[in-house]
C-alpha cells in the first residue's frame, strides 16, 4: 500500500499532507492484529542522556489491547530500578496492573479501556494512546486526527525505513512531527514537546496480522 504517487500527483502539498493522514488512519483501521516494541525518549534539560521509557504494544481485533511500559526511577543513579505498568483489555474487562519493585502489585479493574489508558497519560507521555486511538474506537485522549496546519516536509530514514515527514499542530498539545513509512503507512516515530521538553516516541519491530495467544491480553497475575 503505497500512497506516494497519488499524494504527489495533487501538486498541492497541503492537500497531500491531509491525504497522507487520512491514509494513515485508514491503514490502521484494516489491521487485524498489531505488535510493536519501542521507547519514549524524554530530553530533560538537566540530563545529557535522554530519559528512556521502553514499551510494548499488542492488539487483536476487535477489542483486545495491551500496553506495557517500564518507568525508571527518576533519580539518575537509580535508573536501573523500574516500575512496570500494564494496561489493557482482554476483550471484555479493562484493567491496570502496577508493579513497584519489592511491593505487591496493584491490580485494578476498570469500566473501559479508555479509563485504563488515561491513568498512564503522564508517565508514558501519551504513548499508550497513540496507536490505541488508531486501532480502537472509543479511546479518548490526544488524537493524531485532531492535527491541523498539516504539511509535508520531505523524507527521513527511521531504522533504515524511508518515511514521509508530516508536520502538524495539535490544538492543545502543540507541534507534532510524524514519520510515516513511505511504503507501508506505519507510524515509525512521533516527536512533540511537553512542558518545553522534546519528546520522541519511536516504534520498532512492528508486526501486523500475526496470530497471538489470547492469554497475553489478560491481567497479569498477582
Q: Residue 120: name the closest of 74, 86, 148 by CA.
A: 86
Count the residues in the chain: 222
Q: How far is CA 56 from the centre of its chain?
A: 9
Question: Residue ranges of the domains in the chain?
Answer: 4-213
Cell reading at 39:
521507547
Cell reading at 157:
530514514
pLDDT value of residue 80? 74
pLDDT value of residue 64? 96
R_g of the chain computed on alpha carbons: 18
Give 11: exposed, middle or buried? Use CB within 10 Å, 0-12, 13-18, 19+. Answer: exposed
Q: Which of 3.40.50.720, 2.40.40.20, 1.10.10.10, 2.50.20.10 is the CATH number of 4-213?
A: 2.50.20.10
Q: Taking the model in full, what pTM does it have?
A: 0.90
pLDDT value of residue 97? 97
Give 198: exposed, middle or buried? Use CB within 10 Å, 0-12, 13-18, 19+. Answer: middle
> In what helix (H) or strand (E) does residue 213 lie, and over which residues does it extend?
none
Bridge partners, residue 78, by sequence: none
Question: Each residue's pLDDT tens digit in the chain (222 positions)?
Answer: 444 545 544 556 669 999 999 999 999 999 999 999 999 999 988 777 888 999 999 999 999 999 999 998 766 666 678 999 999 999 999 999 999 988 999 999 999 999 999 998 889 999 999 999 999 988 888 889 999 999 999 999 999 999 999 999 999 889 999 999 999 999 999 999 887 889 999 999 999 998 889 999 999 998
Q: How many Å apart are CA 161 and CA 203, to the nearest integer?
A: 12
pLDDT value of residue 14? 65
Amino acid at each position: 500500500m503505497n500512497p506516494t504517487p497519488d499524494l504527489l500527483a495533487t501538486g498541492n502539498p497541503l492537500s497531500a499532507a491531509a491525504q497522507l493522514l487520512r491514509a494513515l488512519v485508514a491503514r490502521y483501521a484494516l489491521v487485524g492484529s498489531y505488535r510493536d516494541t519501542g521507547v519514549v525518549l524524554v530530553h530533560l534539560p538537566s540530563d545529557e542522556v535522554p530519559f528512556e521509557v521502553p514499551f510494548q504494544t499488542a492488539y487483536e481485533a476487535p477489542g483486545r489491547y495491551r500496553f506495557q511500559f517500564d518507568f525508571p526511577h527518576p533519580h539518575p543513579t537509580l535508573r536501573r530500578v523500574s516500575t512496570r505498568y500494564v494496561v489493557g483489555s482482554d476483550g471484555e474487562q479493562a484493567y491496570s496492573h502496577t508493579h513497584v519493585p519489592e511491593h505487591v502489585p496493584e491490580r485494578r479493574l476498570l469500566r473501559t479501556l479508555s479509563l485504563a489508558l488515561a491513568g498512564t497519560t503522564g508517565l508514558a507521555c501519551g504513548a499508550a494512546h497513540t496507536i490505541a486511538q488508531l486501532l480502537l474506537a472509543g479511546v479518548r485522549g490526544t488524537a493524531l486526527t485532531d492535527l491541523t496546519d498539516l504539511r509535508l516536509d520531505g523524507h527521513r530514514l527511521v531504522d533504515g525505513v524511508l518515511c514521509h515527514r508530516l508536520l502538524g499542530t495539535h490544538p492543545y498539545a502543540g507541534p507534532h512531527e510524524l514519520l510515516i513509512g513511505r511504503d507501508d503507512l506505519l507510524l515509525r516515530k512521533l516527536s512533540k514537546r511537553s512542558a518545553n521538553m522534546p519528546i520522541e516516541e519511536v516504534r520498532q519491530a512492528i508486526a501486523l496480522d500475526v496470530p497471538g495467544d489470547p492469554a497475553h491480553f489478560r491481567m497479569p497475575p498477582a
